[in-house]
């Protein structure tokens, strides 16, 4: 055992939060950037909401400790500091892709030669599908009107390339805050400044950044952002997503209107002319999924206590330590480190190897839960709230033994249905 790992754990101010989570028996969990673990607080707040349904029935909408009618807004307030949002700029609603459809429907206003949507070639497929479908809904051919900024190496994007693509034909820009494969953190402030100078609306996918790095969306002047809550926010599989909209857009008519986007005071007047909410609440489409909101209350309580700065600091320490061990112990086994080695690194590492799929299977068989990304990526995400430095050391040591003894050869180099 590396004595340094034990020393780092002894000096870890966040070590006590590990006991707040249910760690799978006999497992080292390194997949928190795909699905965060269940916490005892999230479990508690889920049961509390179930109990309110059991005791209050329909009166739960307006009575009890947390009336359901206002829960999306309350959770939005809890998430706002994580994205640098002001009061009313954040709402818990929908999912990543439905929120992207909502934001694109609202902000994509093609006119004249200004018809194109600017994205990138390294983003998660769901965002690309949504943006192409929005073009088609407006009668535009994605082959002509969809721009994807190229990557020079298949891992990273250059902000200069993105800015160069912000031509007078671009009507909307949508980019990831953190690239889901390499973990590169884009310079959002620089990109927003460039987009604002050109009067192009710009928004960000925060799925791999919220709860892992700091944001200042309001101060930067971003138009909108959207995200899931089941990765670093530990809200549970399929938990309700979130979105940010800058206050300068309050009062804007949502592209996709729905009853829960109404002004709370007039919603039950049942008028057929919508009285649009005056903040981010306007972009709700349907009734809140309360059972998928409830775990977030407990999860976000912990993030409020700790603060995103402390989380980012420990996260960077964990990945820094892991990279040091990888270079020291795995240099002879054909791995390539595919993530940044500086402050532009998010909360996970990417190891590339031709045998990545079968190496991931061997890791799982030996009690480490990694994440495979086609065609050759192994993502490892030590999470600040529940992973230890000893976890990191053990993960690299197990990986070394797997490679040294070629244990991966007993597995097929092919991903599972869910990777």
**Which residues contribute to the annotated binding site for pyridoxal 5'-phosphate?**
96-97, 124-127, 205, 208, 230, 259, 287
Cα angle 25-31-32, degrees, rounded to a multiple of 5: 95
**Euclidean distance between CA atoms 93 and 210, whole angstroms:** 15
**Euclidean distance between CA atoms 303 and 353, whole angstroms:** 34
**Euclidean distance between CA atoms 54 and 91, whole angstroms:** 26
Paired with 2 in beta bridges are none
* Residue in 65, 92, 63 with CA at minimum distance from that of residue 77: 92
Backbone angles phi, psi at 8, to 5 degrees: -60, -40
**Euclidean distance between CA atoms 410 and 418, whole angstroms:** 20
Tokens 């005056």 correspond to: 278
Would you give the distance in Å from CA 256 to the centre of its chain? 23
Binding residues, by number, are 96-97, 124-127, 205, 208, 230, 259, 287
Tokens of 114: 């200004």
How many other C-beta atoms are found inside a 10 Å radius of the C-beta of residue 151?
17
How many other C-beta atoms are found inside a 10 Å radius of the C-beta of residue 236?
24
Q: Which residues does 119 contact at the CB level (< 8 Å), separation at least 6?
A: 127, 128, 131, 146, 147, 148, 149, 173, 174, 175
Tokens of 320: 């820094």
Helix H, strand E, coil C: the string for 251-320 is: CCCCCCCCHHHECCCCHHHCCCCCCECCCHHHHCCCCCCHHHHHHHHHHHHHHHHHCHHHHHHHHHHHHH
Listed in order, strand segments (DSSP E) in 82-234 are: 90-92, 116-120, 146-149, 170-176, 202-205, 224-227
């Amino acid at each position: 055992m590396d004595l340094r790992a034990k020393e780092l754990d002894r000096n870890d101010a966040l070590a006590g939060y590990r006991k707040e989570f249910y760690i799978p028996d006999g497992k080292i969990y390194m997949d928190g950037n795909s699905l965060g673990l269940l916490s005892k607080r999230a479990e508690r707040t889920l049961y509390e909401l179930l109990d309110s349904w059991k005791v209050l029935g329909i009166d739960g909408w307006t009575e009890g400790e947390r009336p359901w009618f206002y829960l999306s807004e309350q959770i939005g307030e809890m998430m706002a500091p994580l994205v640098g949002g002001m009061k009313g700029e954040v709402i818990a609603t929908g999912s990543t892709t439905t929120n992207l459809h909502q934001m694109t429907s609202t902000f994509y206003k093609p006119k004249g030669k200004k018809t194109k949507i600017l994205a990138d070639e390294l983003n998660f497929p769901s965002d690309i599908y949504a943006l192409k479908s929005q073009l088609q809904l407006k009668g535009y051919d994605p082959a002509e009107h969809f721009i994807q900024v190229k990557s020079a190496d298949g891992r990273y994007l250059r902000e200069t390339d993105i800015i160069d693509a912000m031509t007078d034909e671009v009507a909307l820009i949508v980019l990831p805050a953190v690239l889901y494969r390499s973990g590169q953190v884009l310079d959002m402030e620089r990109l927003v400044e460039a987009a604002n100078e050109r009067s192009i609306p710009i928004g960000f996918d925060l799925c791999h950044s919220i709860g892992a790095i700091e944001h200042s969306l309001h101060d930067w002047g971003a138009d909108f952002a959207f995200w899931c809550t089941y990765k670093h926010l530990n809200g549970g599989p399929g938990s309700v997503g979130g979105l940010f909209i800058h206050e300068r857009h309050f009062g804007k008519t949502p592209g996709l209107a729905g009853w829960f986007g109404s002004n709370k005071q007039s919603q039950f007047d049942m008028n057929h002319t919508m009285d649009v909410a005056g903040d981010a609440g306007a972009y709700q489409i349907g009734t809140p999924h309360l059972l998928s909101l409830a775990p977030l209350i407990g999860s976000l309580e912990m993030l409020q206590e700790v603060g995103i700065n402390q989380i980012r600091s420990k996260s960077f320490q964990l990945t820094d330590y892991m990279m040091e061990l990888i270079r020291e112990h795995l240099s002879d086994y054909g791995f390539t480190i595919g993530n940044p080695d500086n402050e532009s690194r998010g909360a996970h590492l990417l190891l590339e190897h031709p045998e990545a799929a079968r190496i991931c299977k061997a890791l799982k068989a030996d009690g480490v839960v990694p994440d495979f990304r086609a065609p050759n990526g192994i993502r490892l995400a030590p999470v600040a709230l529940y992973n230890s430095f000893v976890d990191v050391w053990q993960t690299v040591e197990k990986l070394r033994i797997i490679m040294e003894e070629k244990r991966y050869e007993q597995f097929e180099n092919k991903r599972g249905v869910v990777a």
